[in-house]
Amino acid sequence: MSLAADPILRPSSFFRRILRSPSAVVGGVIVCLMLAVALLAPWIAPYDPNLQETANRLMPPSTAHWLGTDAFGRDQLSRLIFGARPTLLLVLFVVLLMAPIGIVVGILAGYFGGLTERVLMRVTDIVMSFPRLLLAFAFVAIMGPGLFNGALALSLTSWPAYARQARVETAALRRSDYLAAAEMVGIKGIRLLWGHVLPLVLPSAVIRLALDLSGIILAAAGLGFLGLGVRPPTAEWGSMVAGGTQVIFDQWWIAAAPGLAILIASLGFNLIADGLRDILDPRHD
């Protein structure tokens, strides 16, 4: 069995079901708009996001600066537009690192069992026993601030949930007639795990990943808020919120604009997750 053989996951059927899910459509539109803004930032931003004009510092929203300016006189709208780039890049790095690590560990533990399972699951339990955000902050503090370091820290502290889920599903599959039949026709080793176990474990991992994306955005904003994200003066939503908190009672728009962007991005990924759950999880048909 493969992903293409599943009628739910067949591309034509999959996209038809997405279009029938209002939450997936709305979330997809929000995320696509974010991607378009990030890609077209140099062409749609009205100003250089790092251009400082101290004469125009802390200006309220106006026709010249639609979202006002910050404490250094930088245009808030331009920084908000460019700030989508590090946020989406960090989410992409975390997705590419976190889910594969957890799925591989879970499949190996669930399929081989015995000593392999005990060792891998004990490591998983140790990592899972620490508060995820605190551990991520500690990693970044040790490795230094930066986009890749932040993504690496979040990935190294978030994979255990995927490993535990994949192990449970793989252990159930190991005793199934489906894998027994595949082994009888000579399919073994990596070929069996890649072509027959992974496609059956992947849908639930995709659902969990979609549900975790909004949390990843909030964690990335938290790193930026604490000064552990991208290095200044690069525009980043979390650091913009941190800068706005110093003058939030008088110039509220400085923190409100990036905070609203974080909210909308989290909402978009949550809506996509709801739609994917309806499509991929048979219990929500």
Q: What digits encode the pLDDT tens for the residues 155-168?
A: 888 888 899 989 98
Confidence (pTM): 0.82
Q: What is the DSSP string of the chain?
A: --TTTSTTTSHHHHHHHHHT-HHHHHHHHHHHHHHHHHHTHHHH-SS-TT---GGGTTPPS-SSSTT-B-TT--BHHHHHHHHHHHHHHHHHHHHHHHHHHHHHHHHHHHHH-HHHHHHHHHHHHHHHHS-HHHHHHHHHHHH-SSHHHHHHHHHHHHTHHHHHHHHHHHHHHHTSHHHHHHHHTT--HHHHIIIIIHHHHHHHHHHHHHHHHHHHHHHHHHHHHTT-SSPTTS--HHHHHHHHHTTTTT-THHHHHHHHHHHHHHHHHHHHHHHHHHHH-GGG-
Q: What is the mean pLDDT of residues 144-164?
A: 84
Mean pLDDT check: name the lowest of 12-26, 33-47, 211-225, 263-277.
12-26
Tell me, what's the pLDDT at 260?
A: 93
Q: What is the mean pLDDT of residues 231-250?
A: 85
Tell me, what's the pLDDT at 72?
A: 87
Tell me, what's the pLDDT at 13?
A: 61
Q: What is the mean pLDDT of residues 238-244?
A: 88
Q: What digits encode the pLDDT tens for the residues 196-233?
A: 888 888 888 888 888 888 888 888 888 888 877 788 78
Q: What is the mean pLDDT of residues 113-127?
A: 88
Out of 38-52, 135-149, 239-253, give the one with best mean pLDDT.
38-52
CATH 1.10.3720.10 is right for the domain spanning 26-41+80-239+265-284: yes
Q: How confident is the model at residue 1 (pLDDT cuts 50, 70, 90)?
A: very low
Per domain, the residue ranges of the chain are 26-41+80-239+265-284
Q: What is the mean pLDDT of residues 246-271?
A: 88
> Mean pLDDT over all residues of the chain?
82
Q: What is the mean pLDDT of residues 125-132?
A: 83
Tell me, what's the pLDDT at 7?
A: 46
Tell me, what's the pLDDT at 220?
A: 83
Q: What is the mean pLDDT of residues 259-283?
A: 81
Tell me, what's the pLDDT at 42?
A: 92
